[in-house]
Chains A and B, each alone.
Chain A
Amino acid sequence: KAGVTQTPRYLIKTRGQQVTLSCSPISGHRSVSWYQQTPGQGLQFLFEYFSETQRNKGNFPGRFSGRQFSNSRSEMNVSTLELGDSALYLCASSLRGVVAGELFFGEGSRLTVL
Chain B
Amino acid sequence: EAGVAQSPRYKIIEKRQSVAFWCNPISGHATLYWYQQILGQGPKLLIQFQNNGVVDDSQLPKDRFSAERLKGVDSTLKIQPAKLEDSAVYLCASSQGGGQLYGYTFGSGTRLTVV
Answer yes or no: do A and B interact.
Answer: no
